[in-house]
């Protein structure tokens, strides 16, 4: 079973170009407001008499502000997803999270030393935890956040299965929630003035509403509305499995080729943990298709799905769509399972015969997927298909080892001479995508015509 003929693309409202600057400005303004509230509550005056306590208050306020900003970054707010893309939001979420954590550590150390005033600091910390309202809950929240931060370090993260990491990461919400009573009961800066009270309660309410609305409410509504179920399972070879799904009113599902969902299949234990899978065919209003590579984690379960199994979705997410492409040459660079969203885009983009080039990077002939569909696009729409086979090069490169003596940008211009005038779509592993994107820029592709999506966790 294949899906090749495109339906008219459902237009999805894109975010205005000024959104990124506005969002960055809003984040900066929030930190300035926190500093202003600290100053209005005597922070500067206290700095001269009790610098440890005063600085500890400020670091705690900044930590709380960034913690809530971190929650907003991954609340799946549609306008933010369309403006930035989930991969960029995930990077900002990571940076903001680590910054907030170290500010929290500084807050704990400075406040403890300030209260100890030369006495035993560990004893003072123990007294603070036991005697101050909300501190036991805050300690539990801090332990939860430490666990999240430790498992987010790249070296530790690579040792964890995706499902384990995802489950542990949910404890961040517990950490944020347990911090609230401490801030309201003992944090004078949170309730020092009507302005401070309004600011902090508003920020907490916005963060909570975003999570409940976009992480819980919207997915629940879409799943009830569309009722996706597995229609067919096709083993593509080389550890690849395609899942075809049916549902109600799929023509009203606001998804474009190139996007992905977070998927859960109600087939038994483990269904609560979601996985990001791209559409591997252009959405048509009556069927959806995803293709999954067995990576040794929960993705291996997909091969055993049976028709009729219910699927739950969150999304769609992703900005690697054809919204900005109105015609002209198209160049696609795919590596491994990165072929899936690009294959979907091939069915939707408005290129003329001979204007599209797909470069497909794989380790061997046996790993090339969708041969029949690629041949269909080659014969019916004039797509030039180029396979680059072989092991990795010894240097960071999008080329295989046998072509590693070529400069990355020069090789790209050789296989796709029109690349500087083309819309370029890149999808694959993180390091490979970065190398391919760098080659495209060096070949003359401007950032507004370079479209990438990364799915590393």
CA angle 101, 49, 187 (to 5 degrees): 40
Contact assessment for residue 264 and residue 253, using Cβ atoms and an 8 Å cutoff: no
Task: Say if residue 216 is in the same domain as residue 234.
Answer: no
Task: Say if residue 67 is in the same domain as residue 136.
Answer: yes
Quick check: is 142 in a domain?
yes
Quick check: is 10 in a domain?
no
Task: Say if residue 245 is in the same domain as residue 342.
Answer: no
- Helix (H/G/I), strand (E/B), else coil: 331: strand
Distance CA 365, CA 261 (A): 29
What would the DSSP string read from start to end of 257-273?
A: TT-EEEEEE-SSTTTTS
The residue out of 165, 189, 220 marking a domain boundary is: 220
The residue among 417, 412, 403 whose CA lies nearest residue 359 is 412
Quick check: is 284 in a domain?
yes
Task: Say if residue 36 is in the same domain as residue 141.
Answer: yes
The residue out of 220, 253, 270 marking a domain boundary is: 220
Provide the CA 125 distance to its chain's centre, in angstroms: 37
Quick check: is 14 in a domain?
no
Task: Say if residue 340 is in the same domain as residue 241.
Answer: no
Contact assessment for residue 60 and residue 99, using Cβ atoms and an 8 Å cutoff: no
Task: Say if residue 182 is in the same domain as residue 297.
Answer: no
Contacts of 317 (CB under 8 A, 6+ apart): 76, 81, 86, 259, 260, 261, 262, 276
Distance CA 287, CA 309 (A): 15
Task: Say if residue 179 is in the same domain as residue 292.
Answer: no
The CATH number of the domain where 271 resides is what? 2.40.30.10
Quick check: is 150 in a domain?
yes
Q: In terms of DSSP bridges, do strands 384-389 and 423-427 run parallel, antiparallel, or are they unpaired? A: unpaired
Task: Say if residue 381 is in the same domain as residue 303.
Answer: no
Contact assessment for residue 227 and residue 247, using Cβ atoms and an 8 Å cutoff: yes
Task: Say if residue 143 is in the same domain as residue 35.
Answer: yes
Neighbours of 327 (CB within 10 A): 11
Residue 337 has phi, psi (to 5 degrees) of -70, -10
pLDDT of res. 297 = 58
pLDDT of res. 375 = 93
Residue 443 has phi, psi (to 5 degrees) of -85, 0
Task: Say if residue 124 is in the same domain as residue 64.
Answer: yes
Task: Say if residue 68 is in the same domain as residue 131.
Answer: yes
Quick check: is 295 in a domain?
yes
pLDDT of res. 298 = 64
pLDDT of res. 349 = 92
Bridge partners for 277 per DSSP: 261
Question: Which single residue is written with the structure tokens 């054809």?
Answer: 322
Count: domains in the chain: 3
Quick check: is 301 in a domain?
yes
Contact assessment for residue 240 and residue 296, using Cβ atoms and an 8 Å cutoff: no
Distance CA 13, CA 79 (A): 9
What residues make up the domain containing 402? 330-453
Quick check: is 7 in a domain?
no
The CATH number of the domain where 405 resides is what? 3.40.50.80
- Helix (H/G/I), strand (E/B), else coil: 244: strand
pLDDT of res. 7 = 44
Q: What is the pLDDT along the chain (457 residues), one digit of tens a residue?
A: 444 444 444 444 555 555 556 666 778 888 898 888 888 888 888 887 888 888 988 998 898 899 888 888 888 888 777 777 777 788 888 888 889 889 989 988 898 888 887 788 888 778 877 777 777 777 888 888 888 777 777 776 677 666 666 667 776 777 777 777 777 766 677 777 888 888 888 988 999 999 999 989 999 999 999 999 999 999 887 788 999 999 999 989 988 898 999 999 998 877 777 888 999 988 877 889 999 887 665 667 888 899 999 999 998 988 888 888 888 899 999 998 899 999 999 999 999 999 999 999 998 888 888 999 999 999 999 999 999 999 888 889 999 988 888 899 999 999 999 999 999 999 998 889 999 999 999 999 998 899 987 655 4
**DSSP-derived secondary structure letter, 310:** B
The residue out of 220, 245, 273 marking a domain boundary is: 220
Task: Say if residue 184 is in the same domain as residue 240.
Answer: no
């Amino acid at each position: 079973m294949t899906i090749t003929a495109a339906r008219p693309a459902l237009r999805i409202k894109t975010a205005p170009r000024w959104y990124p600057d506005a969002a960055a400005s809003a984040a900066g303004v929030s930190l300035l407001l926190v500093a202003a509230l600290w100053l209005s509550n005597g922070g500067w005056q206290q700095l001269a008499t009790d610098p440890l306590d005063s600085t500890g208050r400020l670091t705690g306020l900044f930590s709380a502000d960034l913690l809530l900003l971190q929650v907003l970054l991954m609340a799946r707010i549609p306008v933010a997803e369309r403006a930035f893309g989930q991969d960029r939001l995930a990077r900002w979420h990571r940076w903001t999270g680590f910054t907030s954590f170290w500010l929290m550590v500084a807050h704990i150390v400075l406040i403890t030393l300030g209260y100890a005033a030369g006495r035993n600091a560990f004893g003072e910390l123990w007294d603070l935890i036991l005697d101050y309202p909300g501190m036991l809950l805050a300690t539990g929240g801090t332990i939860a956040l430490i666990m999240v931060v430790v498992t987010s370090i790249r070296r530790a993260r690579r040792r964890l299965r995706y499902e384990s990491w995802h489950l542990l990461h949910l404890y961040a919400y517990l950490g944020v929630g347990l911090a609230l009573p401490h801030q309201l009961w003992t944090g004078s800066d949170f309730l020092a003035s009507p302005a401070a009270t309004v600011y902090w309660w508003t920020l907490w309410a916005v963060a909570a509403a975003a999570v409940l609305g976009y992480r819980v409410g919207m997915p629940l509504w879409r799943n009830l509305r569309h009722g996706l179920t597995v229609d067919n399972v096709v083993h593509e070879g080389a550890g690849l499995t395609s899942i075809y799904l049916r549902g109600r009113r799929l023509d009203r599902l606001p998804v474009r080729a190139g996007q992905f969902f977070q998927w859960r299949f109600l087939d038994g234990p483990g269904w609560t943990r979601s996985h990001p899978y791209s559409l591997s065919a252009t959405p048509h209003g009556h069927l959806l298709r995803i293709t999954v590579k067995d990576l040794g984690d929960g993705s291996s379960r997909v091969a055993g799905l049976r028709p009729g199994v219910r699927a739950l979705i969150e999304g769609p997410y992703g900005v690697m769509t054809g919204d900005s492409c109105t015609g002209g040459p198209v160049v696609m660079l795919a590596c491994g399972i990165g072929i899936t969203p690009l294959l979907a885009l091939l069915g939707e983009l408005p290129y003329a015969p001979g204007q599209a080039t797909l470069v497909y990077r794989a380790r061997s002939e046996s790993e090339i997927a969708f041969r029949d569909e690629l041949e269909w696009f080659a014969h019916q729409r004039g797509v030039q298909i180029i396979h680059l086979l072989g092991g990795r090069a010894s240097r960071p490169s999008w080329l295989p080892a046998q072509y590693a003596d070529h400069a990355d940008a020069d090789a790209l211009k050789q296989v796709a001479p029109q690349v500087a005038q083309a819309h370029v779509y890149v999808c694959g592993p993180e390091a490979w995508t970065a190398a391919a994107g760098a080659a495209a820029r060096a070949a003359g592709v401007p950032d507004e015509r370079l479209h990438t999506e990364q799915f590393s966790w």
